[in-house]
Chains A and B, each alone.
Chain A
Amino acid sequence: MRLNVDGLLVYFPYDYIYPEQFSYMLELKKGLDAKGHLVLEMPSGTGKTISLLSLIVSYMLERPLEITKLVYCSRTVPEIEKVLEELAKLNRFIEKQTGQKTKLVGLAVSSRKNLCIHPEVSQEREGKVVDSRCYGLTAGYVRARAARADTAAGDGDGADPVPTCQFFEQLEESGRDATLQAGIYSLDDLKHYGRERGWCPYFVARRAIQQANIIVYSYHYLLDPKIAEVVSKEIVQSSVVVFDEAHNIDNVCIDSMSVHINKRMLERCSNNISAMEKRIANLKETDAARLQDEYQRMVDGLRDAQMKRENNQLLANPVLPDQILQEAVPGNIRTAEHFLNFMKRLVEYLKMRLRVQHVVQESPAGFLKDIFNKICVDRKPLRFCAERLTSMIRTLELTDMADLSPLVLVSHFATLVSTYTKGFTIIVEPSDDKTPNVYNPILYFRCLDSSLAIKPVFERYQSVVITSGTLSPLDMYPKILDFHPVIITSFTMTLARPCILPMIVTKGNDQVTISSKFESREDPAVIRNYGNLLVDMVTAVPDGVVCFFTSYMYMESVVSSWYDQGIITQLQKHKLLFIETQDAAETSLALLNYIQACENGRGAVLLSVARGKVSEGVDFDHHLGRCVLMFGIPYMYTQSRILKARLEYLRDTFQIRENDFLTFDAVRHASQCVGRAMRGKTDYGIMVFADKRFQRSDKRTKLPLWIQEHLKDSMCNLSTEEAVQISKRWLRRMAQPFSRQDQLGISLLTLQQLQSEEMQNKMRERVTHRI
């Protein structure tokens, strides 16, 4: 239908609309008008994506000068594909309504692994290997060498032809200036397009970023400076950036700027360096001019002219654009030998630092001072490390990037540590947290400030929308990401029937308090009560049941206790049992069979882990998850020094109390897990929080509003049996037929209903209901 959202004609590709979708669009529109940033929370399964796309695309159509581009960031490949599917649907709808082809170009950008169509390279499973092999076929000097070999072969020299990628070559040859026709291109469409024309889909997509109106890609392409510099540099300022499923955005920011180095990597570094030394000696004999040429460029302080050629930019600087120096490379690392010597010293120094027996923690400044004292290395050459290494790799015409990764890592570390003095910490631990008795020193260089990586995004782009189903408490995100949104809103779900049933189970039938707190989590009584709760729920609930534990380790110990206590047997009597493991492949297989078991009516129970892969990427809609149980509160491992350092930093910089942050993080993961079960209004599911501590108000109030709303006080202190009784009654009610008529007017509106005075008033009320 066509909607009038605050004076804007919005194309919405459905005939009915949820009231909260309309409110959502209303708020979004206001934010876009104000050219500010937004934080919007709306329950999953209420059509967030389509509301976002509808409004922004319609905005773009109506006022093409104000918003020129939509950059939609999502987290996983399936999410990206879903967004494109919805976009395609919207596009079809607009075309049908206006009766003419839209000029919109929308496309997905993904890594080479997902887009490669080269017959050999695309068979690789590892993303890194695909990248590296692609680079080995398409780098400028490889192609130059290939061209030379070709002419040589033409002359009859019989030199071996250098392999190149035919798809890339054909793209270079004929598709250089070609633009994509208007339309929506999903990953498969891009591949198809590439195959048809014999062009490389990856580079087609990369080149189309400039031209496209809508780009859908993963967070990293915008947040990780190493990739953002290569991929997203040229995206115009008047763009709207959307981070969907943004509840983990701070972790992505931090990860993209953190580095850890262990002994094995340093050993491989040394090997890299000696290999390069040999190579340089070789080159000196055969082609000294090239080295001289490189040196000259360094002196001139010009960034490599070849840098402009995007296919050469496999390696970009790990620091943010505004931090990159616009100076010449310092003298002591200009020649190749000097630089290698420099790196050698640096690696030796790091090796020395790793020889510790106790934990060392220091700031980047302290580290720089120490490195200056010990090996007389200045800050400035360190800052140029990454760039200098990139240049050298190019000069030496090295192609095997996967092999060189340790050296690249060290150079990045050097650049980062010398660039940022605030918001980072260095921790050297003699052994891993996991294996405290094995000597395995690691140097962690951790970013503590999630606002660093995202800062350029906020500064550069007109509007940034941060949205997810679970962002509560909303005021936390502006704090930790350090920005000032113009609108912060949480939307609840209008429901025609109470289709979620959140419950807090605090005790077992024997009145033993259940909790995953450290002192009692290994208590057999607690574990048994968790087991009995699960068995009882499994007996009462049809189809799929999903449980989340706080960690793999805890799940493993519980499962083995359950086996001894005979609980596993009881579970198997009712449903098939599947368990997430740390191996992604095995888990995928288990998941597939779990779904099959639910589909064919057998019913199954899946044991999974909060913060694990399943909790982040898989939806359990409808019968796949009629009940979700959260055993315990998924706190982070609080003894970790990295976490402690971060908490300290948050306290000092943003005035966030440690406990607040820890609880915030735990509860958002818990609600994320539990929210997996709800994917729409026709869906229904039980959410059991099995931990005494959930009933405290500091945890309860941090749950998303749409869960809190249904969490009555009477449901906050239940025993297992009570919970099962309530569930049974509720399930009987929910299983009744539910038709559109029941929803219409309450949680589902036609255009007429939407336009009615009464509804508009209600809508306005809802919007003003801010937190």
Chain B
Amino acid sequence: MTTTEDILLQVNNVRHKKSDGTLFLMSERIGWLMGSKDTFSVSYKYADIKMQKISPDGKAKIQLQVVLHDGGASTFHFNSPDGEPAQRADRDKVKELLQTLLPKFKRKVNKELEEKERLLRENPSLLQLYQDLVITRIATADEFWAQHASEFLNKTNVKQDVGVSGAFLADIKPQTDGCNGLKYNLNVDTINSIYKTYPAVRRKFFEYVPGRMSESEFWTRFFQSHYFHRDRINLSSKDLFTDCARQDEKVIQQELQEELDDPMLDLRRMTDSTVGDGYGSDSSAVGVGQTNTATVSMIRRFNQHSINVLKASLTPEGAAAAAATPAKPQQNGQSNGEASSAAPPAERDPAAKRARLEERTCYEDLEAAPPSAGQPLSLTKVERYLSGPTPDLAQLGSEPPSASAARRLRENVLHWRPFTNKVLDPQTAVSVLGDLSPGGALMKTSHKDRNASADLPDHVKTELAAIYRSAGELLRHFWACFPVSTPALEEKVAKMEDTLHKFHQLKIQNFEDTVCRQAGLGPEVTAHLNQMLSAAYAKYESWRSLRRSLQR
């Protein structure tokens, strides 16, 4: 099993529990091999390791301890025969490697744990189930999360993309190389950021590299270009990025032409009546003095940069799509332009606007508390819900069904004649009635049951409810395995049966023995539970015997 993994570091002469061996650091776990064996006697996944500890400098033994999340720990003693410096060197190598490795796994684990903890906190019933199953060791935690809470976990599994930092261009700090030059250090992240924010540059890159220039030359040009420097006013035609700038300009202009979808923000539509040329004061009230065109264009760049950064983080797939087809936009740009110019600007949606207005004008804290929303309907198969029992089309006349029903009823009542030949004779009727009344022969059990449930003390009742919930969940999983068609299901059904047994012994019998005894209640409290369970056992037995006979 060692062969399949990359060995990152191998340190000989490491003692663990007073026996010599070799310590291996692999890509996903740490392992210790006893000198004579060929399987790991100690092996931990990095994800399970909480932290590492090292012995202080003055100590005679050079040791390293890994502490696990579950509280366990292992200590490794480095005793290289070359003396203390070599031992320390060995230890430090391991320490440093672990230092780089652990955080990568740690974050993942912590996040998962946090997520699970949050789920449990937010769903009391899930927590109850967890307590019943995991803490009593009926099922392991992994099983629990995989089987019983999978629908909770799946929902949160949406991956989030890392956005682009607003200052990514500024983060590339140029360094002087000592001879009148500047050195820019670009890493993959920065380049990706540039691509995401300025798709035009990406397109350029694919156009030019490696056909016409090398990658480094491209980036050199990029930084030299005015495109990078934001106060570009005069664009020289030789510059590689001139048309990038133009394209940006075009995009912005196009966006300006489009109607803003939020009427509350459109400053152009703010004022109602224009006083007209020559009336009133001109804009002199606002800002007096010459405005510097360089500054104005710089301000525009800032805005544009922020807008691009925002866009890049909002539509990752859009940017990716644009990147995938670098040459295409030029081709269909024209036809797009025509189509959009020909179509009249769409009328803004009044409903959306109204909703926005309502939101803006409403004072939430003045409103009465809204009635608590009912459980949302979540459907696994929508089509089944929608195409339920189809109504009889013939009966769907113009009048509402209730009216027609009422009419039919009236007619029926008018023509009603008792079927005297089909009624019971009076004596039988009376005895049946007696049997069906409370206390009658047929009503004994139900009546008693109702009384029993009403008489249960509160704490018993809540506990019983919890047990019912857990049992129900387990039974649901058990029955969901039938018909057993795959080996996986076979395994599961066996497992579930086992779990049910455990549950029965640990929980239900415990409940019966302690709680019910104390409260002086008979076995009838759990009768139904036991009935359900025995039904499940019976089913399992019959399935097994069937299977055995088939196998034979």
User: A-side interface residues toward B, CB under 8 Å?
Assistant: 14-18, 47, 49-50, 76-78, 80-82, 85-86, 89, 110-111, 114, 123, 125-128, 188, 192, 217-218, 220-221, 224, 227, 251, 254-256, 258-261, 265, 405-406, 409, 432-435, 446, 551-554, 556-557, 559-560, 563, 566, 568-579, 581-582, 584-593, 595-597, 600, 602, 604, 609, 611-614, 616-619, 636-637, 640, 642, 680-682, 740, 743, 748
Contact = CB atoms under 8 A, between A and B. Distances in A.
B288 to A, nearest CB: 4
A747 B353 CA distance: 31
B285 A256 contact: no
Contacts of A220: 272-273, 275
A128 B274 contact: yes
A301 to B, nearest CB: 29
B270 interface: yes
Contacts of B255: 589
A265 B295 CA distance: 31
Contacts of B277: 265, 405-406, 409
B268 interface: yes
Most buried by A among B279, B295, B296, B345: B279
Interface stretch (B42-50, B324-332, B364-372, B466-474): B364-372
Contacts, number: 265
B210 interface: no
B344 interface: yes
Contacts of B367: 14-16
Contacts of B350: 188, 192
Interface string B353-365: 1100110111111
A52 to B, nearest CB: 13
Given A81-B357, A82-B361, A76 B270 contact: yes
Contacts of B298: 559-560, 563
Interface string B224-259: 000000100000000000000000000010011000
A595 B265 contact: yes
B290 A553 contact: yes
B441 interface: no
Given A256-B280, A409-B278, A581-B296, A221 B303 contact: no
B287 A551 contact: yes
Given A575-B166, A579-B299, A609 B287 contact: yes
Contact of A613 (B270, B354, B369): B270
A49 B362 CA distance: 11
Contact residues of A: prevailing secondary structure:
helix
A400 to B, nearest CB: 15
Nearest to A14: B366
Interface stretch (B132-140, B211-219, B306-314, B494-502): B306-314
Interface string B492-527: 000000000000000000000000000000000000
Contacts of B282: 260
A592 B262 contact: yes
Contacts of A569: 167, 170
Contact of A76 (B272, B291, B292, B354): B272
Contacts of B299: 556, 559, 579, 581
A680 B362 CA distance: 10
Nearest to B347: A191
A595 B307 CA distance: 11
A573 B166 contact: yes
25 contacts: A14-B366, A15-B366, A15-B367, A16-B367, A50-B363, A76-B271, A81-B357, A85-B357, A114-B272, A224-B275, A251-B285, A260-B281, A409-B279, A433-B284, A552-B287, A556-B291, A559-B298, A560-B292, A575-B166, A577-B303, A592-B262, A596-B310, A642-B281, A680-B364, A740-B369
Given A258-B279, A405-B277, A617-B267, A582 B291 contact: yes
B267 A584 contact: yes
Given A256-B275, A553-B289, A572-B167, A579 B302 contact: yes
Interface of B: 163, 165-167, 170-171, 230, 252, 255-256, 260, 262-292, 294-296, 298-300, 302-303, 305-307, 309-310, 313-314, 344-345, 350, 353-354, 357-358, 360-369
A433 B285 CA distance: 11
Contacts of B166: 572-577
A16 B307 contact: no
Nearest to B271: A76
A676 B282 CA distance: 25
A452 to B, nearest CB: 14
Contacts of A128: 274, 276
A568 B299 CA distance: 11
A592 B366 contact: no
A676 to B, nearest CB: 13
B125 to A, nearest CB: 24
A553 B291 contact: yes
A551 B271 contact: no
A593 B284 contact: no
B296 A556 contact: yes
Contacts of A604: 306
Nearest to A119: B344
Nearest to A433: B288
Given A128-B274, A553-B290, 10 more contacts: A76-B272, A77-B272, A123-B344, A251-B285, A255-B280, A433-B288, A569-B167, A572-B167, A591-B265, A591-B267
Contacts of A85: 354, 357-358, 360-361
Contacts of A260: 278, 281-282
A740 to B, nearest CB: 6
A542 B410 CA distance: 70
Nearest to B350: A188
A616 B267 CA distance: 10
Contacts of A217: 272
Contact of A680 (B280, B303, B363): B363
Contact of B265 (A556, A597, A611, A618): A618
B306 A16 contact: no
Nearest to A89: B361
A86 to B, nearest CB: 5
A613 B281 CA distance: 15
A224 B364 CA distance: 37
A188 B353 contact: yes
B167 A551 contact: no
